Chain A
Amino acid sequence: MPGSELEAPDSGARAARRRELPRLLKAITTSRKATIGTLILLVIVFVAAFPGLIAPDNPQAISYTPNAGVSWSHVLGTTSLGQDVFSQLLWSTRQTLIVTLLVSAIATFLSTFVGVTAAYLGGVADRAITIVTDVFLILPVLPLLILLAAYLPPGVTSLTIVLCITSWAFQARQLRAQGLSLRNRDFLVSAKVRGERSLYIIFAEIVPTMTSLLAASFLSLAVYVVGFAASLQFLGLGNSGQLMWGTMLYNAQQQSALESGNIWWELAPGFAVALLGAGFALLNYAFDEIGNPALRPVKKKRAARRSLPRRSRP
């Protein structure tokens, strides 16, 4: 067929990688959802990094009247022990964010490793891995989390471990599908012929071409990790002494904060969790649209067109 592009197989992959990042950035700035999501996340990251800049008090200092209402000195009131809720909220951001990002990163890595390896190895190994993945996908997550977390010492490490165990299967399927579609591409065949080891091929050749899918997986996981982490702590399976939004919720709930009128102690961390989740979700939604153009919003106004009667469609 005339006009076919004859490029060396390797350069095709490298060129694809080079094009990904600027295209990604452009896609983020043009999508309203992505922009809002990114802003939310940036604000939260800022608060996590520099809580001291905004928080007026030491979060754990028991210095004030317990259950004081909202006032200028206590924007969100105080806890039943006399701690400033606002300061606690801000200082809890860091730990919460770290756990979320850490778990999402680990789970994404595990998902990718499992998914792409299964796709690459094919055959019996693929089938075995897929079965294991399916099993983990069916096992109900929260009950499993509770079962595991209840019997490990309470704390951030246990939380991270159990969340990783239950989250790795989530994206493995999609990543495997992507791996399958790449399996026979030229640049991979050339790598194999060069004699590269399978592990190298998987990580140095296949994975870099999947950046946007990896980012989307990471974000997708983050949405759920935020919720699950907070849920576990809310149920009392975290360490109530640690500064995280989930533990704030637990403490507030234990003191019946809502019913006794100290509402912000319980609602504020809830809002924070929702906000973080929403930030990741918006960004994820935008990434879904980038990956699957069919999902993109259809432009309503037209640029400089002659008026033709508009028929009702699809």
Chain B
Amino acid sequence: MRYLARRGGIFLITLWAALTVNFAIPRIMPGNEAAAVLSTFRGVNPAAEHALEIEFGTNVHHSLISSYFSYLGNCFSGQFGSNALGESVVHAIASAMPWTLGLVGVTTVIAFMIGTLVGIFSAWSRGGKLDGLLPPFLFIISTLPVFFVGLLLLYVFSVKLGWLPLSGNYDIGSTPGLSLAFAWDVFKHALLPGISLVIVTAGLWVYSMRNNMVTTIAEDYVKMARAKGLSNARIMYDYAARNAILPNLTGFAMQLGYVLGGSILVEYLFSYPGLGYQFYTATTDHDLPMMQGLFLFYTLAVLVCVLVADLVTAVIDPRTREA
């Protein structure tokens, strides 16, 4: 239980850190950038403008400490302000969230499966062709900037071959709804962004998984399992893979931040209207409340995944129960 308490502590502290970063940035912003932000909101959104002035500290009626605590209070009561368009940040995020969730969720699962399987098998067949070629190949691919992979795919499949759409999440003419045609439309639009993410993420998983597996296979208890005459399949699954994946679940969850970053780039490239695209437009529009809200959301998403991984680890790995 101490293990969970410690992990819970990290959760809270990180959340606090993210909130504080959000609070601190407007105050350290150089003057011209601050002016750019304010000008976005001038006239359009007086309430937001006022809130921003408090954030920037230009409003002398509030001291630093009291501003900080009222800011924290607002966050916990769910008030994240309004964006440049006048709509509530929470609402804007909620409407874009499903698209990103779908894209990132599906690709992460696929990439994890590919990465894990290839990693396990290549580590198991040390010295074979698979181990010699595939992991370095996938590793190189995982180091390719995700926007580059996206660019290539975009060029080959959209521009040159015209097989898949260039941008968006569904055609302008389609009507959203639970129809097969719509689903296919959505799928077509999500395919290239998805593949870009899968390619880069899978490489990352393969590399971690393979290295974990190699280290695990070298452990004495795997040798002991061989000595006991257990079948190869049993050793690979029950003694090696399980011990390679499960204690490292938290580490894997922490890589989610990297995947989310990738999704921002991919959504920008394909003009896919998810949270990443919102982040981009908020940046060019100097829409600070939106950026802060999204940053918080991303952090929260990673934290939740890490916490879930911690819980699963606590349940499955008997060593954590004593720790």
Show the binding face of A for B, using Cβ within 8 Å.
33, 131, 134-135, 137-144, 146-148, 150-153, 223, 226-227, 230-231, 234-237, 249, 258-259, 263, 266-267, 270-271, 273-274, 277-278, 280-282, 285, 288, 292, 294-295, 297-300, 314
Interface contacts (Cβ under 8 Å), in number, total: 163
Q: Is B124 in contact with A314, judged by CB distance below 8 angstroms? A: yes
Q: Is B214 in contact with A295, judged by CB distance below 8 angstroms? A: yes
A270-B148 contact in complex given A147-B21, A295-B211, C-beta closer than 8 Å: yes
Q: B290-321: which have CB < 8 Å to A? A: 291-292, 294-295, 298-299, 302-303, 306
Chain B residues, Cβ within 8 Å of A280: 143
Q: Is A281 in contact with B140, judged by CB distance below 8 angstroms? A: yes
The smallest beta-carbon distance between A198 and chain B, in angstroms, is: 27
Q: Is B21 in contact with A138, judged by CB distance below 8 angstroms? A: no
**Across the two chains, which residue of chain B brings its CB closest to A300?**
B127
Main secondary structure of the interface of A (DSSP, over half): helix
Q: B202-230: which have CB < 8 Å to A? A: 211, 214-215, 217-218, 226
Q: Is A140 in contact with B30, judged by CB distance below 8 angstroms? A: no
Chain A residues, Cβ within 8 Å of B148: 270-271, 273-274
Q: Is B264 in contact with A143, judged by CB distance below 8 angstroms? A: yes
Measured between alpha carbons, how far is A140 from B147 in the docked complex, in Å? 17
A277-B155 contact in complex given A147-B291, A285-B136, C-beta closer than 8 Å: no
Chain B residues, Cβ within 8 Å of A144: 21, 295
Tell which of A143, A227, A297 touches B145, judged by Cβ atoms closer than 8 Å. A227
21 of the cross-chain contacts (CB-CB < 8 Å) are A131-B9, A134-B14, A135-B13, A139-B21, A140-B298, A140-B302, A141-B261, A142-B262, A143-B298, A144-B295, A147-B21, A227-B144, A231-B261, A258-B154, A266-B151, A270-B151, A274-B143, A292-B215, A299-B127, A314-B126, A314-B235
**B283 close to A (CB within 8 Å):** yes
**B17 close to A (CB within 8 Å):** yes
Chain B residues, Cβ within 8 Å of A258: 151, 154-155, 159
Q: Is B33 in contact with A151, judged by CB distance below 8 angstroms? A: yes
The smallest beta-carbon distance between A211 and chain B, in angstroms, is: 21
Tell which of B10, B151, B286 touches A135, judged by Cβ atoms closer than 8 Å. B10
